[in-house]
Structure 1
Amino acid sequence: MANLQEYFRKFHNSIKLDYDDNKELRDKRDELIEFLKDNMPEESCSFKTFNQGSYAMFTGVKALDGGDYDIDIALLFNLSKEDYSNPITVKKWVYDSFCKEYDDVEMKKPCVTVKFESEGENERDYHVDLAVFSSENQDGQTYLARGQLHSAPENRCWEHSDPEKLVSDIKGFPSDSQDREQFRRIVRFMKRWKDIKFKGQVNRPSGIGLTVAGLTHFQAQYTQDFFTNTRKYSDLDALEIFVQSMLNSFIPVLNSEGEWEDRLRVCLPTPPNNDIYSKMTGNQMMGFKDKLQCLLNKVQEAKLETDPVIACELMVEEFGDDFPIPTVSNTAQKRGPSIIIDNSSA
């Protein structure tokens, strides 16, 4: 079996995107928060902020060509939902404030989005999603303001949510720091795979869905050298177990038309504890499963392959051209002469 770990690490380094790596987005985040503090209406309440999403969870990946960068911010307002029965009232404080200064502002169901065109040549556009929460409630819980600008009453609500705990749970998983680094690599691999295999599709598997799935399906894979007290991680093995476990978790579910369909349920570990993939249709879920099976097949083929060039070419088919392929001369040099020791009994 070819050892692909160095190529997986190179691949990870080429696709990962952390908060500190994107100065333009960091600057816009800070600009928006400061603008909001200075331009909120008089009747509004104070708020605190924190990053959520992939940047906060250390699972960010670079956008493919044509995609834009984004950052998720939580605005926790010091107010009770009981005092503002219509959550749109609070979201409008944010929306109306930004509309005074910025050209492209949209109120979506879960957030207010401000979009920007890149200021540099050959750079991506980007946007900032700001989710509005009520944080001073009698039950001690946090609630997300859901609804659009002109939503009917039945389509707007305060939804029980715990964004800080969700970020904390994922940032701290697993408890071992070295295992955690592998977990983050595997999640990033899966997110890049998703971007390539489902590009442009509606209701495709989401990044947060794959991340949360990792809380259940990830198992660290390494060998321990007890003499040197070091570990040699195998991302290929961890990837195989991750995908196989996801495939094993598809279960038959009776749909609204009385027909059975295989579905993968991935529920948030924090309120509202909803199934992240509930909006995917039966056909979309079938396509998801088929692509996962194809990925598993390629991973298992790569594990059996002795030539690292061929093994990496199999990974390129799933993860795209950012996955490195070694040159033939390099692999020949690394292999060197083979020495076979037979440890079998006579």
Structure 2
Amino acid sequence: MPSVQKQFEDFHSAICFDENDEKATLREKRNTIVKALCEKLGNDVPAFANFNQGSYSMHTGVVPLDGNFDIDVGLIFDCTTDKYPDPVTLKKKVRDAVNSNFRTVAIRRPCVTVNYLSGGEIAYHVDLAIYTKGDDGKLYLAKGKENSAEEHRFWEVSDPKELTKLVCGAFEDPNKLAQYRRCIRYLKRWRHVQLQGTGAPLSIALTVAALYWFKPNFGTSGKPVDLLAMLDWVNAILGQFTFEFIHDDGPHQRLKVLLPVEPYSDLMAMRTATQMKNFKEKLEALRDALQKAYAEDLPEDACKLLKKQFGDDFKVPEKSDTARTVSAAVISTGNSA
């Protein structure tokens, strides 16, 4: 197996969306929006509390290829679902309160999206998930668009805070947790490179897939081996595909990734048979590339294979650099013997 851990970790540094200027900018946008809501919602709308959710709070964010950074914010309104039988009514109030000349706002099925433009392009966006409380004390998420039919406007039970807790607490060992987060980011960037459009799996589906099927790999040396961790995880995901009969179309292979919290929905349910087939074929190509990289002798040859899967941010080292690394390792081993 070639020594490519440095290249994986350098790749992670390049794609990791963490504590930096962009994250500070998103916090500023979030605070501006929350302030606008407090000032403009009106006295007829109940007070609300806000919290971060999604990849921002789970520490699994990836720098987007299109530069459109985002943050997910939950707004819990201090009322029950009975106050707004039509959840889109509350979503409209939120949209109107944050609408301004400096941003565009759209009501989407799961949230209200606030877009910030730069040079005519979306540079940042904030997704506002709207919650109220049920009589049972649970949180309910507002589902539906402005022009949705009545049956598509409803309150759905949700537990975003528990989901974040599960993802963040997947491993007690900080080194294992760090590898788990790195590998989630690798697969998210792979998705951005290899799968585009509405058929791509949701980021949360990949994150939950790691929660279920990712196993850390630290090799015999006790040091992380991200190449093998990724290979094992991709094989585990492929092993979860099962055949499903759809009417008269015959059997199709599908992957189910169930939310580990209410409403326990399948995060892959909206993928068509064709989209699922494409996803599986892309995963198989990734598995094959990881296996071939593992079988290579030279890091630069392995990294050429990996770059084709993960994109240009996965760098191929110069042959002279890897030669020096191997030479240094040989000298070190001789001195310690």
Structure-1-length-normalised TM-score: 0.91
Following the alignment from structure 1 to structure 2, what is the Cα–Cα distance between the partners of residues 160 and 116? 30
The AA in structure 2 aligned to 1:175 is: E
Given that 1:52 and 1:74 are in contact with CA atoms closer than 8 Å, whether structure 2 keeps it comes out as yes
Give, in angstroms, the shift of residue 175 of structure 1: 2.5
The AA in structure 2 aligned to 1:97 is: A
Given that 1:47 and 1:76 are in contact with CA atoms closer than 8 Å, whether structure 2 keeps it comes out as yes
The AA in structure 1 aligned to 2:126 is: V
Which residue number corresponds to residue 159 of structure 2? 162
The AA in structure 2 aligned to 1:153 is: E
SS for the counterpart of 2:223 is strand
Following the alignment from structure 2 to structure 1, what is the Cα–Cα distance between the partners of residues 321 and 100? 58
Inter-CA distance 128–317: structure 2 relative to 1 (3 Å threshold) = same
Inter-CA distance 17–319: structure 2 relative to 1 (3 Å threshold) = same
Given that 1:303 and 1:311 are in contact with CA atoms closer than 8 Å, whether structure 2 keeps it comes out as yes
SS for the counterpart of 1:125 is strand
User: Unpaired runs of 5+ in structure 2?
Assistant: none
Following the alignment from structure 2 to structure 1, what is the Cα–Cα distance between the partners of residues 103 and 83? 31
Inter-CA distance 140–7: structure 2 relative to 1 (3 Å threshold) = same
Give, in angstroms, the shift of residue 20 of structure 1: 4.4
The AA in structure 2 aligned to 1:151 is: S
Which residue number corresponds to residue 188 of structure 1? 185
Which residue number corresponds to residue 147 of structure 2? 150
Residue 224 of structure 2 corresponds to residue 271 of structure 1: no
Decide which moves more: 169-178 or 93-102: 93-102
Residue 280 of structure 2 corresponds to residue 289 of structure 1: yes
Calculate the aligned-residue CA RMSD, in Å: 2.0
Inter-CA distance 7–239: structure 2 relative to 1 (3 Å threshold) = same
Deviations 1:143-178 (A, max 9, x none): 001111232221100001011111111111123221
Decide which moves more: 148-157 or 187-196: 148-157
Following the alignment from structure 2 to structure 1, what is the Cα–Cα distance between the partners of residues 275 and 37? 39
Residue 129 of structure 2 corresponds to residue 131 of structure 1: yes
Q: How many residues align?
A: 330
Q: 1:254 aligns with which of 233, 238, 245?
A: 245
Following the alignment from structure 2 to structure 1, what is the Cα–Cα distance between the partners of residues 303 and 137? 51
Give, in angstroms, the shift of residue 84 of structure 1: 2.3
Q: 1:207 aligns with which of 188, 203, 210?
A: 203
Which residue number corresponds to residue 2 of structure 2? 2
Give, in angstroms, the shift of residue 21 of structure 1: 4.2
Identical-pair percentage: 38
Which residue number corresponds to residue 228 of structure 1? none
Given that 2:48 and 2:75 are in contact with CA atoms closer than 8 Å, whether structure 1 keeps it comes out as yes
Decide which moves more: 15-24 or 66-75: 15-24
Structure-2-length-normalised TM-score: 0.93
User: Unpaired runs of 5+ in structure 1?
Assistant: 226-230, 342-346
Q: How do 1:108-123 and structure 2 match up within 5 A?
A: 108-118=108-118
Give, in angstroms, the shift of residue 87 of structure 1: 1.1
Given that 2:40 and 2:97 are in contact with CA atoms closer than 8 Å, whether structure 1 keeps it comes out as yes
Which residue number corresponds to residue 229 of structure 2? 238
